[in-house]
Structure 1
Amino acid sequence: MTDKPSAETRDFKDTVFLPKTDFPMKAGLPAKEPGILARWQDMDLYAKLRDARRGREKFVLHDGPPYANGDMHIGHALNHVLKDMVVRTQSLLGKDAPYVPGWDCHGLPIEWKVEEQYRKKKLDKDQVPAKEFRAECRAYAQHWVDVQREQLKRLGINADWDNPYLTMQFESEATIVAELLKFATSGQLYRGAKPVMWSPVEKTALAEAEVEYEDITSTQIDVAFEIVESPIPELIGAHAVIWTTTPWTIPVNQALAYGPDVDYEIVEWGAPTKRYLVASPLVDDFIKRLSAEMNRDEAMDIPDVPEDDLLALGNMLDDMPPPPPARRWKGRELAGTMARHPLAVMFDDTIMDGDAQERFERERVDESFARLVNIREHARYCSELFDGVLSPDSPKAEFYLRPRPFLPGDFVTTDSGTGLVHMAPDHGEDDFDLCKAHGINPVFAVEGDGRYREDWAWLGGMGSVINPKFNAPDGPICQTLREVDALASASADYRHSYPHSWRSKAKIIFRCTPQWFVPMDQQRGDDGTLRETALKAIDDTRFVPAKGRNRIGSMVEGRPDWVLSRQRAWGVPITLFVDRKTGQYLNDPAVNERIVANIRTHGVDGWDEEYAADLLGPDYDVDDYERVADILDVWFDSGSTHAFVLESGRWPDLQWPADLYLEGSDQHRGWFQSSLLESCGTRGRAPYNAVLTHGFTMDGKGEKMSKSKGNTISPIDLMRDYGADIIRLWALSVDYTEDHRIGPEILKGVADTYRKLRNTFRYLLGALDGFDDAERVDVADMPELERYVLSLLGALDAKLRQSVDDFDFNTYTRALSDFCNEDLSAFFFDIRKDMLYCDAPTDMSRRAYRTVLDTLFHALVRYAAPVLVFTAEEVWATRYPQADSVHFLEWPEVPAAQADAARWDGLRALREKVNEAIEPYRREKTVRSSLQAEVEVPAAAVPDGFSDNDLAELFITATVTRGQGDGVIVKPTDMAKCGRCWRHLPEVAEDGDACDRCDAALAGMETA
């Protein structure tokens, strides 16, 4: 060996094997990702991947169709990233996992938006030819399909973007019609009148999935119905009181319901005294409302009253003797009782005969006192108050003259109100069922826009019924009830949850209209009922998370018949011809075949009147049949997607049933359920084997996002500012099975996680510079640390595989990140960087380390590829610029390696204590790095098999010795520092000299 030059003249910088890579630390994702995306499009990545996986085991995720209406929002982003993660991980496992995206294009949201454009131009949509209007809806939907497609592509979603499915494609519309006709042919379709959720603003029935609930403040009223017949003599002349928060339903009341096991009693109140029948447990609450009403001058529209009269009234009420103990009756004893509708006095002059009128006049005191205690003259003498409200000559006036029967209702409770419920079969499910059972039919008084029919005797042509002013204590309903002395109380202060249309945000009502239904409980031969079939299918389906099974199960168990019809223009028509004489729909296979073929040729326009005669054919007279004008519930469209996407053959890579449906948890009552019912009704099983649901994205404070709050976060803006990989990493890091959050601080944490993952890859790329197979070392020849890290990689591999099976992407992403940060960067890389930088290239230990780095690279880039789709591509192309995309790769083969995990866990725990002990010295600058520290560790804490030199290397310290104490002792070293490896070693004479190891490495370099 040559003599060492002096420390002053030696420069080791060029002799150290530092990592080399062009992979930048700064990601620059917003600028870089579009170029990668363009490369994928140029190579047709999706099609090439299909070719590469053809013939393999299939995994089919069927994409639930988002609505073609507006930009992608953060919920879309999360949903599609999850779907992409499922497909990519299944492909990584070697399966053929196609992904055909789709869109829902029919229905009210699009029609509503097109109507808005008309309204802005002050045009009447109803004046536009239907075909022209549908064409505008189709164009509107196509515009947003194109917009959303580009936005979803930008997220890195790998899908058949050039050939998506749309529910408005003619072939799709024809298949939807064919599915409907399967229900008709099998007798699973009927036309009936039932209360359905109805939007007066949008003038159509709504599905449950189209409804959201918001808190509102409503008018609550107590209305008195005079009892005119009863098996209990004491009740005749008393007033049965009902309580409601929908005053607008009083004009269509047809009965009163009682709870058979509820106790009822008479409450005497007022001057002159009136007797009210209410449930005993609710007497106190009722009296409180009566008292509040008496003091509510403004609500009663009471004029100024002399103070003496007020005092007289107060004294009179104070002097009233306490009521005697109330007699009580069980509800079932009320059977046979009849009451009179409060408005009966308006339409029957015989109600107040001469004697009654005289008695009425005798009981009156002066006018102001009479008004104060709610005494009113007969409505006929106050007709000017009802101008435009009453139509005494209406043919419907007799409706109010019929007595109202008391009916037993199991649904009647004493939670609130009066324990008596007024029945309006037009506007409530319980009302409808109970009245129907007793031969009472709906009257269809409320029109589609929420107004009463023009010919209705009370409030004819008036409304809308959802208008708060219409229902207010001083509105026309309460005013009329007050004038006939039937309004016991009214106040606009009842806070409760109420259903709204999620599109118009307007309140909805229950409204009885003729609709088309699929029965849930009709026997279907040997197949049981649709409800039974669906519940069995739910039992046979895997749900992730498992609680989804109970959620959709309870919904199906309790749901009413499926309402298929809507009264709008933009949608798939209910293609039925109904016999005008019998009311039965035509069920002719030849006619059905012509209908489907015509829809396939012309789309939904193929059901227009101009085609009716040709569709019916020569065997039927078009004048004998009604062509149904309703359209299908849009959920039937989307519920049929499995038929025209998975079964049609248009996408031969797909198959039925799907392995997985994946949507938000709200789809238990939406797409999951409509698909389930459609498939069970036509195929006897669910169209999916598994269902995965995710929660909703909240803002950083856990609040629901809304434009009015200004707390929405646009994924489009995020991609511009952060890049798509950051959104993907966020989406796959949260516990998506629950509601989750996004906000600036959360994104800052995600960006930090991304930075650490990127730096892991940057280190690997740099450390592997020049690596080739000749350098590779067998696992058996590796040092124990390398074998231990490979065993950790094996454990990670198993954990990630399990996470893929469980669709547990939060665990997947966290495990990958933790391995890179804790096992590699903070441990393995930290320890071995000295070997990488300073050992000779031919050294077996260095070669072993680089062999493990290569194994780690190939595993980690594959694990990361489904998550960080752009970054993984960049990493792969940096090392293999001529290679195909990283996304063609399959799950890595991890070499088996054995290591005593418990022994290494103990060593790592001790290493952590050593680092903690050194940190105060570092902060005080007593030592500037751990290499300057000499440490003493508790001998009992050192696992077997590690020498002191091993410990110094693993702890990255100058020396390690063992002591008998319990703690770690640290002191600065006095040893000189090697100028090349910077270790403090006894053989180094003075700072800057080379240690023996570095001398050997330098000699080898000189020889080479």
Structure 2
Amino acid sequence: MCADTPEKTAPDYRDTVFLPETDFPMRAGLPQREPDWLARWERIGVYDRLREKEGRAPFTLHDGPPYANGHLHIGHALNKVLKDMVVRSQQMMGKDARYVPGWDCHGLPIEWKIEEQYRAKGLNKDEVETVAFRQECRKFAEGWIDIQREEFKRLGVTGNWADPYLTMAYHAEAVIAEEFMKFVMNGSLYQGSKPVMWSPVEKTALAEAEVEYHDHTSHTIWVRFPVVAPENLAPEGEDVMARMGDPNVLSVLIWTTTPWTIPQNRAVAFNPEIAYGLYEVGAVAENASAKTGEKLIVADKLAESIFTAAKVESHTRLRDVSAEELRALTLSHPFRGVDGANGEWDYDVPMLPGDHVTDDAGTGFVHTAPSHGDDDYQLFLRFQGPNYPDLQMTYNVEPDGTYRISLPLFGGQAIIQPDGKEGPANVSVIKQLAYAGALFAKGKVKHSYPHSWRSKAPLIYRNTPQWFVAIDKSLDDGMGTYGDTIRKRALNSINQLVEWTPATGRNRLHSMIEARPDWVLSRQRAWGVPLTCFVKKGAQPTDADFLLRNPEVNARIKAAFEAEGADVWYVQGFKEKALSGIVDPSEYEQVFDILDVWFDSGSTHAFVLRDRPDGTEDGLADLYLEGTDQHRGWFHSSMLQSCGTKGRAPYRGVLTHGFTLDEKGMKMSKSLGNTVAPQEVIGEYGADILRLWVAQSDYTVDLRIGKEILKGTADSYRRLRNTMRFLLGNLAGFAEEERVAPADMPELERWVLHRLAELDHVVRKGYAKYDFQGVFQTLFTFCTVDLSAVYFDIRKDALYCDAPTALRRRAARTVLDILFHRLTTWLAPILVFTMEEVWLCRFPGEASSVHLIDMPETPADWLDEPLARKWDALRRVRRVVTAALEIQRTAKVIGASLEAAPVVHVEDAEVLAALKSVDFADICITSDIQLTADPAPEESFRLPEVPGVGVVFEKADGEKCQRCWKILPDVGSHAHAGTCHRCNDVLG
């Protein structure tokens, strides 16, 4: 290998060797330099120029819209970088890969921010004119869109940033309304009164995707429901009571963690499969609410825990209680006959069988308030009717989470206060139960409880009129290929039409769709697309003419939205404008609820994929890509919406990624101080390091990030950068006339071509499957092991010291050129800035960019399996030689491997022949080498993993060539002083 500087007393041949020449710096300086490349791409219009390439199959990744509210966090960066890697890799593999970024602009988070601003100024939102309030929300969203757009672009994300889609754009609002009206027309939309997840703080229903669960400490109570007097029971009930004993001391015991729901109780549920018993209370502790001699029916499995909680010191099990006996009993509401109740709770409480009742906790009986729980509501639907006249829905809780003013004893009291804290309702109910003699025991329990993802306040189930889409209603809409209901279409789409990455995503969405109830579309807010429908005055929701279904009215609404946006719905006189000349406006009421924001984003396929010039012919996306939480969010709502309006899923593929955690695997939290802001990473390392972190991670699970991880990522980057610098330095001045055909190359070069042919298959397959970690690890290993540690190491001598016309040097430079074109394009989807820098070092020019280039096709005939097997054997033997020399170098016997001329003993005749067929001394970077089949002496160096090979160290004979540093016998015998034969010939 040549020297950078000759010995002081020797001739100076430094200017005669071909050392690397490049302007590509070792230090990247990415934070400072990346913005210049971004500006350059925008200036030369890279994204638009790619769209001009004709004859390419389209590939469309449809962007799940981030919310236009706040700076980007590390999860945003992960998501957008993954999307960018997909788009860029598909483009460079020959597709027309389109990416239209978008934003979710409507909904509660923005409205909440504006309300916070109002409260800070002492203003009341309800006193502001609706259109004016909506315009403030629009302005707020616009401001954040501009900020987020620049933050996304700084990550190196390509796309149509000049023309993104916005759910608040007029056309988008018109299409969202149009998509909603398709549900009006197909009969799947209905108004129902049922319990939904409700935020008293925000005064609106919430979608499942807007709910998060946190630990919460709740009151827990055990309550007596007295059995009614025998004379008020049916005959079978009288018989049961006769067997039970004194009816005045007999109760069914329930347990609940929501005392505030007791005033809404209408039934008690039991499970016929559970074993129940009649128990009599014996001795009780001081201050216990339990009473000696009282009789209770509870589940046998839970009896001990119940009596312990109630401070009952002794009790007796009297007998079994059968399901038939329970069904025959009738109970009284605990507040029946209470002073001041004005007869509010003077009704019978039936005992009803229900599969949802368990004996895992509680008492084995479930207090049933149909207006405040889904299981309770489903039981209500099964049994409501003349047989149970008192089984009614209640309307005791107002939108702000307070009891209606007219409710006796508790009117006006809050369950949840405006600040999200617990109101007095729970404690008031508990006190009243104690006063009424119904409280058996009380306590507190810490459990997982639903909270609003925006206000972080606890939620309640609340019965309220809402608008629903029936997902099991048979639709006669001519789109029944995959089923006649939305649920069937969704499940069939999941199973038949969509490719899932990772595959587990299929099961997750399938189970959610399979079990979900009807879709609640309405929200009681102001900022969003309204439910563009009219209802007939005086009609009931069950009446056929309750909803106005008129195509001409729908067309007027859409046209108005296209021209003026959804705000026009709230302008005085719009109802008359929409209905006049078609129906009598005075006969209809306008609905002012807004659509669930998930319906907005679920409809994006219609106004982006279907309607835009850069959309798709069939209105379908090749890929939706979001975090795993979107199985219950965007993937879910898009599926339901599209199955109702297109008859199938709007996507062919779905990719999901995990969440970002800190280095210890903990969830990131500002309070813990363990967040990693993408802006900070970019400021310290550059966006390419952040992108490389994404590529090195397994995105199918949760990803960890932190200072130490980023340091490791930066180290990987530096090693890869050095590989590219070596290529550039040794390609300086490379011209086409130097190029050598593969058939004429030495074996080492043909082995590299073989590896490239293998890699081409791996890289393309990996990118096609979105396996960025696999692609990068494969290429990184190739660069650091096959290239830097083997090929570059071996060929430095030829590149630096061979004559420019020498076949070996020309072949090596040809291979470096081939490597350059493949590595830059293979890595460009990941390291967008660095590969651009590498490319421009060789191909400068205003219009030049690696991102305008496809991955070059790799000839299949470069594959040479016999050659690969041979070189695998050569590399194994080389590993023994280099390990043997490293021992001598460590012992300072030699300073460099060129001082050695080892003897290599090889038992395998075929391997020995292979070694002799090449210049093995060059491959081992020694000045000479001896190959022999003689048995290896005892003192020879061996590696256990390479049997049959022994190396005996010997020093090289001769003098050191002052140009290439090889120690050879002929040095000093040529015209040029201190040179070997090869170097003398090069010098001429």
TM-score for the superposition, normalised by structure 1: 0.89
Question: Which of 294, 297, 316 is residue 274 of structure 1 equivalent to?
Answer: 294
Distance 1:601 1:974 in 2: 87
Contact 2:221 2:257 in 1 (8 A): yes
CA distance in 2, matches of 1:281, 1:258: 14
- The partner residue of 1:955 within 924, 930, 946 is 924
Q: Secondary structure at the match of 2:371?
A: coil
1:530 maps to 2:468: no
C-alpha distance 595-959 of structure 1, shift in aligned 2 (>3 A): same
- The equivalent residue for 1:421 is 366
Alignment of 1:382-421 (within 5 A): 391-392=340-341, 397-421=342-366
Match status 1:891 vs 2:883: no
Residue identity in the other structure for 1:971: F
Task: Report if aligned partners of 2:901, 2:956 keep a CA contact under 8 Å in 1.
Answer: no
The one-letter code matched in structure 2 to 1:786 is E
Local SS of the residue matching 1:416: coil
The partner residue of 1:503 within 440, 454, 471 is 454
Q: Does the aligned pair in 2 maintain the 1:470–1:476 contact within 8 Å?
A: no
Which residue type is aligned with residue 894 of structure 1?
Answer: T
What is the correspondence of 1:460-499 to structure 2 with a 5 Å cutoff? Answer: 460-465=411-416, 470=423, 475-492=427-444, 494-499=445-450
Residues 143 and 251 of structure 1, relative CA distance in 2, 3 Å threshold: same
Q: How does 1:553-568 map to 2 (within 5 A)?
A: 553-568=510-525
Q: Residues of 2 paired with 1:574 and 1:260: CA distance?
A: 43
The residue that corresponds to 2:873 in the other structure is 906
In structure 2, which of residues 323, 327, 337 is the aligned counterpart of residue 331 of structure 1?
Answer: 323
Specify the alignment match of 2:387 in structure 1. Answer: none
Inter-partner Cα distance in structure 1 for 2:484 and 2:557: 30
Which residue, out of 935, 938, 950, partners 1:964?
935
Partner of 2:3: none
CA contact (8 A) 1:530 1:680 kept: yes
Is the alpha carbon distance of 1:978 and 1:838 closer, same or farther for their aligned partners in structure 2, counting shifts above 3 Å? same
The CA deviation string for residues 658-679 of structure 1, in whole angstroms up to 9 with x for no partner, is 1111111111111111111111
**Do 2:156 and 2:832's aligned partners in 1 also have CA atoms closer than 8 Å?**
yes
1:344 paired with 2:343, answer no
Match of 1:675 among 612, 615, 638: 638
Aligned equivalent of 1:137: 137
Deviations 1:356-414 (A, max 9, x none): xxxxxxxxxxxxxxxxxxxxxxxxxxxxxxxxxxx53xxxx433110110000011111
Could you tell me how far apart the structure 2 residues matched to 1:338 and 1:458 are? 25
Deviation at 1:984, TM superposition (A): 2.1
Residue 250 (structure 1) aligns with: 262
Q: After TM superposition, give the deviation of residue 464 of structure 1 in Å.
A: 2.4
| AA of the residue aligned to 1:601 | A
In structure 2, how many angstroms separate the alpha carbons of the residues matched to 1:212 and 1:81? 26
Matches of residues 270-349 of structure 1 in structure 2 within 5 Å? 270=284, 271-291=291-311, 323=316, 326-347=318-339
Q: Distance in 2 between matches of 1:449 and 1:914?
A: 80
Once the 2 structures are TM-superposed, how far is the Cα of residue 810 of structure 1 from its aligned partner? 0.8
The equivalences for 1:833-872 within 5 A come to 833-872=796-835
Q: Look up the match of 2:377.
A: 432
The residue number in structure 2 matching 1:297 is none
Pair 920,219 (structure 1): closer, same or farther in 2 beyond 3 Å? farther
Shift of 1:700: 1.1
8 A Cα contact 1:175 1:643, kept in partner = yes
Maintained 8 Å contact 1:20/1:767 = yes
Residue 948 of structure 1, CA deviation: 8.7
Instruction: Note closer, same or farther for the CA distance 1:937–1:220 as it changes in structure 2 (3 Å cut).
Output: farther
- Report the counterpart of residue 110 of structure 1 in structure 2: 110
Q: 1:543 to 1:614 in 2, by over 3 A?
A: same
Q: Which residue does the alignment assign to 1:15? A: 16
Q: Which amino acid aligns with 1:592?
A: N
Give the structure 2 partner of residue 101 of structure 1: 101
Gaps (5+ residues) in structure 2? 1-5, 285-290, 385-390, 541-545, 943-949
**Which piece of structure 1 moves more, 193-202 or 101-110?**
193-202
Correspondence for 1:994 among 974, 979, 984: 979
d(CA) in 1 for partners of 2:677 and 2:151? 11
How far the C-alpha of 1:957 sits from its partner, in A, is 2.3
Distance 2:338 2:788 in 1: 87
User: Corresponding residue for 1:946?
Assistant: 915
CA contact (8 A) 1:948 1:959 kept: no
Provide the alpha-carbon RMSD of the alignment: 2.0
Contact persistence 1:598–1:606 (CA under 8 A): yes
Give the counterpart letter for 1:887 in structure 2: H
- State the secondary structure of the residue aligned to 1:173: helix
- What is the rounded CA distance, in whole Å, between the counterparts of 2:204 and 2:753 in structure 1? 63
User: Given that residues 81 and 157 in structure 2 are in contact (C-alpha distance below 8 angstroms), is that contact kept between their aligned partners in structure 1?
Assistant: yes
Q: How many residues of Structure 1 are paired with residues of Structure 2 in the alignment?
A: 921
Q: Deviation at 1:472?
A: 9.5
**Distance apart, 1:465 and its partner CA:** 4.1
**Preserved contact between residue 977 and residue 992 of structure 1 (Cα < 8 Å):** no
Answer yes or no: is the 8 Å Cα contact 1:451–1:462 preserved in 2: yes
Q: Say whether the 8 Å CA contact 1:934–1:970 is kept in structure 2.
A: no
Question: Which residue does the alignment assign to 2:273?
Answer: 261
Secondary structure at the aligned position of 2:318 is classed as coil
- What percentage of aligned pairs have identical amino acids? 50
Instruction: Write the mapping of 1:742-757 to structure 2, written as runs, cut at 5 A.
Output: 742-757=705-720
Question: Counterpart amino acid of 1:624?
Answer: E
Q: Is the 8 A contact 1:248 1:465 kept in 2?
A: no
Partner secondary structure for residue 400 of structure 1? coil
Q: What one-letter code is carried by the residue in structure 1 that aligns with 2:962?
A: G
Q: Does 1:973 align with 2:936?
A: no
CA separation of 1:964 and 1:32: change in aligned 2, threshold 3 A: same
Question: Which stretch of structure 1 is more off in the superposition, 788-797 or 754-763?
Answer: 754-763
Is the Cα contact below 8 Å between 2:260 and 2:425 reproduced in 1? no
Distance 2:520 2:724 in 1: 55
TM-score with structure 2 length normalisation?
0.91
Give the partner amino acid of 1:30: P
Report whether the alignment pairs 1:521 with 2:503: no
Distance change >3 Å, CA 422–CA 992, structure 1 → 2 = farther
Q: Which residue number in structure 1 is paired with residue 288 of structure 2?
A: none
Deviation at 1:958, TM superposition (A): 3.4
Question: Which stretch of the first structure deviates more once superposed, 833-842 or 118-127?
Answer: 118-127
**Pair 1:920-2:887 in alignment:** yes
- Aligned residue for 2:547? 585
The verdict on how the C-alpha distance between 1:22 and 1:187 changes in structure 2, with shifts beyond 3 A counting, is same
Q: What displacement does 1:469 show? A: 5.2
TM superposition shift of 1:468: 6.7
Displacement of 1:964 in angstroms is: 2.4
1:729 match: secondary structure? helix
Whole-angstrom CA distance in 1 between matches of 2:8 and 2:407: 109
609-618 vs 514-523, greater mean Cα deviation: 609-618
Query: What is the distance in 2 between the residues matched to 1:943 and 1:173?
Result: 76
- The question of whether the paired residues in 2 share the 8 Å contact of 1:200 and 1:509 is answered with yes
The answer for the alignment partner of 2:82 in structure 1 is 82
Q: 1:119-268 residue pairs with structure 2 within 5 A?
A: 119-228=119-228, 229=233, 230=237, 231-233=239-241, 234-235=243-244, 236-237=247-248, 238-268=250-280
Cα gap change, 1:993 to 1:657, in 2 (>3 Å): same
Cα deviation, residue 970, structure 1? 5.2
- 2 CA distance for matches of 1:590 and 1:808? 50
Q: In the alignment, is residue 709 of structure 1 matched against residue 672 of structure 2? A: yes
Opposite residue 429 of structure 1, the aligned amino acid is D
Deviations 1:147-195 (A, max 9, x none): 0001111111111111000000011000000000011011110000111
Asked if 1:983 is matched to 2:983, the reply is no
Deviations 1:846-905 (A, max 9, x none): 111111111111111111111111111111111011252111111212243225222222
